[in-house]
């Protein structure tokens, strides 16, 4: 029976790289995958999943109104979909996570979702919260704080490297805007 997997981590843990490796493994065996990424994240280009180490693949961009279940089932009628891979899964709505669960439960298609758990304030994203609640398997990917501990938090910084305390939950950026830190150093940076 297929499962819904949630691979989560802080920034710079290799989530997109791991997703692209999983996609490669399926395709190398002649299996058909569908890749999705958040339309709001166009750092690698619109509808592109890109990793910091230079790997990239085209993906279907999703927005809050995208019906992922219907999209996958339309493709599945044409040719069998063997796996669905979702990057930037924190940007999913709770309803979209439920659609992904339905793909695993009713269509017997494994779904691998990759994303952040928390935002720059330490609050759960909607998609991450729902995935943490209902995914069959939760896998934490590791990143490292400059102190050497496991990084679990994403600190948003301004142009001068100072912690940002307020703002929209979603602000797309990479190493220029976010620093992966352990909880201790995240809290210290916010208190400074």
Structural domains of the chain sorted by starting position, each given as residue range(s) with its CATH number in brackets:
4-142 (3.40.50.300)
Return the residue matching tokens 């305390």.
165
Band (pLDDT 50/70/90 cuts) for residue 4 is very high
Q: Do 153 and 118 meet the contact criterion of CB atoms below 8 Å apart? A: yes
Specify the DSSP element, H or E, that contains 92: none
Q: Give the pLDDT confidence score for residue 28 in this predicted structure.
A: 97
Any bridge partners for residue 84, and if so which? Answer: 34, 111
Q: Is pLDDT of 167 > 60?
A: yes
Q: Indicate which residue of 88, 126, 140, 191 is catalytic.
A: 88
Where on the phi/psi map is residue 8: left (φ > 0), alpha (ψ -120 to 50), or beta? beta
Beta bridge mates, 138:
6
Match 């999705």 to its residue by tokens: 36
Q: What are the DSSP E strand ranges found in 88-163?
A: 111-116, 137-140, 143-144, 150-151, 153-156
Query: Would you state the pLDDT for residue 172?
Result: 60
pTM of model > 0.85: yes
Q: What is the pLDDT of residue 175?
A: 58
For 36-78, write each residue's pLDDT tens digit.
999 987 766 678 898 888 888 999 999 999 999 999 999 999 9
In degrees and rounded to multiples of 5, residue 4 shows phi and psi of -105, 120
Whether 171 sits among the annotated catalytic residues: the reply is: no
Strands 111-116 and 4-9, how do they pair?
Answer: parallel
How confident is the model at residue 170, as a pLDDT? 65
Please give the Cα distance from 151 to 180 (Å, whole number): 6
Q: What pLDDT does residue 44 have?
A: 66
Query: What residues pair up with 111 in beta bridges, in sequence order?
Result: 4, 84
The arithmetic mean of pLDDT across residues 131-150, rounded, is 96
């Amino acid at each position: 029976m297929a499962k819904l997997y949630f691979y989560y981590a802080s920034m710079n843990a290799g989530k997109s790289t791991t997703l692209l490796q999983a996609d490669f493994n399926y395709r190398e065996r002649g299996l058909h995958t569908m890749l999705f990424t958040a339309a709001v994240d166009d750092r690698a280009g619109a509808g592109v999943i890109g990793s910091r180490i230079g790997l990239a693949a085209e993906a279907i961009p999703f927005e809050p109104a995208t019906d992922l279940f219907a999209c996958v089932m339309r493709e599945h009628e044409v040719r069998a979909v063997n796996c669905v891979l979702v990057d930037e899964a924190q940007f999913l709505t709770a309803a979209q996570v439920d659609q992904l669960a339905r793909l695993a439960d009713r269509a017997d298609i494994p779904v691998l979702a990759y994303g952040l758990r928390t935002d720059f304030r330490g609050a759960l994203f909607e998609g991450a919260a729902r995935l943490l609640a209902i995914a069959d398997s939760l896998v934490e990917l590791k990143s490292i704080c400059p102190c050497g501990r496991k990084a679990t938090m994403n600190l948003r910084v301004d142009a001068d490297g100072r912690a940002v305390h307020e703002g929209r939950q979603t602000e797309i950026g990479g190493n220029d805007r976010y620093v992966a830190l352990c909880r201790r150093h995240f809290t210290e940076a916010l208190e400074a």
